[in-house]
Amino acid sequence: MSKEAPAPRENMGAPVPRFDARLKVTGGATYPADIPVADLAYGVLVTSLVARGSLAQLHTDKAATVPGFLGLFRHGDMAGTQPPKFGVAASSIGPLHGDRIFHDGQIIALVVAETYEAAMEAASLVTAEYDEERPSAGFDTQGTETTPGAGASPLFGEDVHAGDFDAAYAAAPVKIDEHYSTPTQHHNPIELFSTTAAWRGDQLTIYEPTQNVTGWKTELSRQLGIDPNRVRVISPYVGGAFGSKGPMTARTAIVAVAARRLGRPVRCVVTRMQAYGTQTYRAETRHRVRIGAERGGHITAFGHEGWEVTSRPDAYVVGGTIATGRLYAYGSVATHVDLVHADRNTPGYMRSPPETPYVYALENAMDEMAVALAMDPIEFRRVNEPTREPIGGKPFSSRSLLACYDEASKAFGWSDRESAVGSMRDGDWMIGMGCATAVYPTNIAPCAARVQLMADGHARVQCGCHEIGTGIRTVAGQMAAERLGVELTKVSVEMGDSALPPAPVSGGSNSTASVCSAVMKACDAIRNRLFLAVSGEGAPLAGAANSGMSLGNGQVIAADGRTVTLADAFATLQTVLIEEYAEFTPKGASPQALKKLYAGQPEFRGGERDDAVKYAFGAELVEVRIHTLTREIRIPRIVGAFAAGRIMNPRTARSQLMGGMIWGIGSALQEETEVDPRNARYVNKDLQDYLVPVNADIGDVQVILVPETDPQVNPAGVKGLGELGNVGTPAAVASAVYHATGIRVRDLPIRLDNLL
């Protein structure tokens, strides 16, 4: 694996290292639970040991005897506050608002003490009695209810249809009808979940890792019944987000109430085990996929039904048929998504929430169809490349999928693949080569940013978005440096604070597009002010046309070659600092879009919502080796080629895509939360038993950035790619496993016992 950052190709920025790269590996980055707060008390959660019923008794006498014990907050102690609202909040379950138990691991108390150790000891001495009822763990358990998924959550609008699927499928000469499934997966960020709440009078500051400072400020103030301007949420660095720190969980308000009651700041760090029940997760899904095609390979019918697990009260649903229904030239499409309500905590976002499970099912089915048609799987996709998406008949703003397959195939050596199943071998190892498509919608939302340019060439960018490890701080700085013609080292970027100009939730891979568009708008306003000033009568560049002017090397440059230094340009304005505050709204945004942004409820556009379908694409090719005797599965190499509009920084883009493919290998071969069907409890709640890849599991990972220019998506020309890399991987692995062994695994993860 080359350690070098890829050289920029057409429409790509410089591969500069992240501002925070060194800080992060030297311990210099301050995560929310590291921020020093005076007079801190420590909170530890007590969680339910049953999944369904009600809390009958909570025995707290022993806990109160622990030296340093300060208080215990329980059912009833949230009186005067509002329960969470599902949406910005992860769940409508307000665990201390009633005695009802909705799921295993639900918060039943918060113990606060002088030290973390005392709080842990006191919490361990709290015991509970429950009126227990028999829970349902998920699919195939008694007592679950099913509701239609359509319209139930922000991710999923409606089931998509096109043409007469039933007739086309019935008439198709070649067809498959198969079921696929993906397991429960839990977030295990290296930075644990935590909340620190500090009141100063009636002013509340929350330090917590989050992908949504503005949304949380608004939702928390609603729950607490206080003015949003009295709440500030601070989250300078986030150590592993991927959706897990997008929605606000019930703990935040509980810790805030405890801190107010005790008159002291309280910090609560959630243990890894407790995170399984108190945070969100990717719920298990099931799929039925039907594909019908002509003998030449043209698809005439595509049917995709999905089933997802959620909690009793919340209709969280991902509904990835929105993407799968638009991926190829199908002829006809029929889809439907249902929700199964069980006694589980409410699921939530995890890297490409809809696409990961649904595209896995589609792409595994595409591979099965290619086998049924005796076609090369890449050729099968080529034959079904659409000119317009099949649901609304809209054009794609740009679509470089075939270019991605071309570049990936060449780098991988796909032409060396022998098509017959089980025909490739190296000693005791069976070799398989497989492929799959990655796809992710280009989302964009309104965003505000403040930019300052100083006469000495320093610039400052402020935006209430979040550095969740993607490098957004760096690319926003690059955008400012480029537009203002100053060196990147002279640009400082502030993020992760609800006191800054509001940005949307850092989810749906919208941040680079939204934030860079806002930063660009603010920079352009600064440029215009400077250009006007220096071109006026008697000014240094008098008479120069503003349209031909540029900024570079700390100078304003006229089209005719005349220049003036920034210092002299600022002097004409009699100022040393120019500041601009920009509010960016995407094309097609509603008149309320900005109001909603400030209220923490930003509207998303892009994807399939506009007059053109805006998606990023990729092709992933993988080689697996399976030992003939042990059936051990290894992945010596994977190649992914991706096209995502303008690439702001090839280094950070590559990191995102590489990390995505590695995660994809983990979800293909390892990741699964075991749910005990008898008691609806999670079993493997730690990193010892919840399997993720380690270095030794990962071979060569090659990322190819395919040049693509798409002026239609947004002013910055950027498509998001943070959630693109992991989408195709599991199906590519399943395809390669089949090619090596002839065994088709349809239920993830693929482990050696599936291949015996």
Nearest by Cα to 660 from 515, 503, 469, 407: 469
Q: Any contact of residue 669 with ligand MOS (CB under 6 A)?
A: no
Contacts of 25 (CB under 8 A, 6+ apart): none
Contact between 422 and 741 under an 8 Å Cβ cutoff? The reply is yes
Q: Any contact of residue 135 with ligand MOS (CB under 6 A)?
A: no
Q: Any contact of residue 246 with ligand MOS (CB under 6 A)?
A: yes
What's the min distance (Å) between Cβ of 90 and ligand MOS?
12
What's the min distance (Å) between Cβ of 443 and ligand MOS?
8
Q: Which stretch binds ligand MOS (CB under 6 A): 22-30, 329-337, 343-351, 568-576?
A: 343-351
What's the min distance (Å) between Cβ of 244 and ligand MOS?
8
| Nearest CB to ligand MOS, comparing residues 199 and 242 | 242
What's the min distance (Å) between Cβ of 193 and ligand MOS?
14
Q: Any contact of residue 607 with ligand MOS (CB under 6 A)?
A: no
| Nearest CB to ligand MOS, comparing residues 83 and 246 | 246
Determine the Cα–Cα distance for residues 539 and 550; give it in Å rounded to an integer. Answer: 16
Contact between 556 and 567 under an 8 Å Cβ cutoff? The reply is no
Q: Out of 16, 50, 340, 350, which residue is the one contacting ligand MOS (CB under 6 A)?
A: 350
Q: Looking only at residues 311 through 340 of this chain, which bind ligand MOS when binding is defined by CB under 6 A? A: none
Which residue numbers are catalytic? 723
| Nearest CB to ligand MOS, comparing residues 332 and 506 | 506
| Nearest CB to ligand MOS, comparing residues 316 and 380 | 316
What's the min distance (Å) between Cβ of 515 and ligand MOS?
15
| Nearest CB to ligand MOS, comparing residues 123 and 350 | 350
What's the min distance (Å) between Cβ of 328 and ligand MOS?
24
Q: Any contact of residue 616 with ligand MOS (CB under 6 A)?
A: no
The site string for ligand MOS over 492-521 (x = CB under 6 A, - otherwise) reads ---------------xx-------------
| Nearest CB to ligand MOS, comparing residues 243 and 303 | 243
Length of the chain equals: 756
Determine the Cα–Cα distance for residues 503 and 25; give it in Å rounded to an integer. Answer: 27
Q: Any contact of residue 664 with ligand MOS (CB under 6 A)?
A: no
Q: Looking only at residues 710 through 739 of this chain, which bind ligand MOS when binding is defined by CB under 6 A? A: 723
Binding residues with ligand MOS: total (CB under 6 A): 12
CB atoms within 10 A of CB 638: 28
Q: Any contact of residue 279 with ligand MOS (CB under 6 A)?
A: no
Q: Any contact of residue 351 with ligand MOS (CB under 6 A)?
A: yes
- Span between the terminal Cα atoms of the chain, in Å: 31
Closest residue to ligand MOS using C-beta atoms: 243
| Nearest CB to ligand MOS, comparing residues 194 and 356 | 356
Q: Any contact of residue 243 with ligand MOS (CB under 6 A)?
A: yes
* DSSP class per residue in 293-351: E-TTS-EEEEEEEEEEEE-SS------THHHHTTSS--S-EEEEEEEEE-SS------S
| Nearest CB to ligand MOS, comparing residues 336 and 605 | 605
Helices within 6-65 (DSSP H only) = 21-26, 61-64
What's the min distance (Å) between Cβ of 583 and ligand MOS?
23
Determine the Cα–Cα distance for residues 700 and 260; give it in Å rounded to an integer. Answer: 52
Instruction: Label residue 684 exposed, middle or buried (CB < 10 Å: 0-12, 13-18, 19+).
Output: middle
Q: Looking only at residues 200 through 229 of this chain, which bind ligand MOS when binding is defined by CB under 6 A? A: 211
User: Facing residues of 605 across strands?
Assistant: 444
* DSSP class per residue in 638-662: EEEEEE-BSBS-HHHHHHHHHHHHH
Answer positive or negative: Cα dihedral of 351, 357, 358, 363.
positive
From residue 348, alpha-carbon distances to 89, 237, 274, 551, 600 in Å are 10, 21, 16, 44, 18
From residue 714, alpha-carbon distances to 86, 160, 171 in Å are 30, 26, 42
Determine the Cα–Cα distance for residues 352 and 350; give it in Å rounded to an integer. Answer: 6
The footprint of ligand MOS (CB under 6 A) covers 211, 241-243, 246, 349-351, 353, 507-508, 723
